[in-house]
Structure 1
């Protein structure tokens, strides 16, 4: 397959449009949803996929242990989908509103829907696909149909099993948004009612704060797998260490952060992975982005007396180790600074401007108004936000 002469595919800047290019039968390592999210679309339904932004082609049939993101970054490091400097990619909102026919259709297109029924017809007649239940569900009456046979009509089956469904009867009083009408007064009204009137950003570019030092452990499951030989006597459990960005080096109790490369060892009984990560490596982008609550900095000031060894480069000699101690009063000998309360008020992306945005539905406040539009997911809980609202600190 020769796509070397092709460079950019603006028609596929929308994640939804990329997803529609994949065939129904797709049994490769990377899912259709994952490929579409990272910028790839299928040209002819084969195992070859292409990035709409840089034109990179990948054969997903070839076995590759690297994640899709690592492959993309290795083969095309300047691609805007890798660097985050992308102004035309249009990602899907995280919170699915099945009142939108487009969202219902995407639920079928992005999954392995096994039945011989037209998914466009299913979406048009109110159904979305629930992968967990493996059923087609009506967004209005909650009717669930687990299997379909050749010749079944989505409209007739709907009327047979749920004849009183308001959507089936007339659509009166039902907020259904047909395909192509997302940006109409009706579409905006549905969004507002679904999110209690909060702002719905129509376009949001992907933003990467900083690429990880050890990308092989970017995936949480890979970090967790590294703890197979973690000492059973340690109080810190592999799950919470992996959640804090650490993987196990198989040397004593030394763990290392995949994002900043910093290592920690000599763990105490009361040491909390997230807190110790923040204390030892306050500039780590992962900590700034993924701290579980904005109270963390204040909580650190009340941490009980503890000692832990932080290693900026775990592969260098022991004399590189630095010891930090925190007393009950909150005075810290760590450098730089002591985590003053004013740090809590700063945007955790630019670190200069005051917080002023609350993400919905998670309700976390972590960025300033200028940085929020660059993000597609909440930096605290990592879930994609569906809207955000301006807010002010007291």
Structure 2
């Protein structure tokens, strides 16, 4: 997404009611992720939404994410849009020729899969030889949705985004769970499209979180050796440091996932938990003794 033109192409489904121009947003480093008017910086990953007509995207970017290398003017490879009449496809914020024939796949972030050796569906399916009999979802449907079997319980992982899922129940749809837990997976977006992912996110936004969503990597089963007092104190200190700024102590409890991993200054800028990637619907002040 270092190309301004490529960022601009992601706004194919930008809502007509949004008062800010996609051209200005792309120039300010943002690309469209949805739902609604959510955009994300290609450089720092900052997310902004709820735009007003008087908002200046570049000024808002600098206000909320002043440490972004793009905002600071560092050479991070940004490719500006050709100017001086080379692009004539924007009229009153609506796109014409440039987006009429654009497939959704062209608007998805390019990234290398985490497990390139499992890119093929047959390759993923071959990992399910010891799939437990109690698991209620078929290996075929899991492999088709991008997952391979880890060999632990009913843990599966996506070959592309490395997201892991478990605790499968009868009736679970691997595509739906993939979209609900890991909505930014490139394979998912390429296979089902952003509209499908957004619809799943909207459907489950106000629903209780399922225990099927897991952190990106399954837990390590072998028990770790006992830690000495000094190491315990060091780890305890690390656990109390904000996982976003890595500076201030954690003080905000995220709802509904319950993770206590961010400070009061970083929490307002988050829409998803940095640990489990679950949607943040509320937060509360935590007091550590």
Report the TM-score, using the length of structure 1 for normalisation. 0.28
Structure with greater Cα Rg: 1
Report the TM-score, using the length of structure 2 for normalisation. 0.37
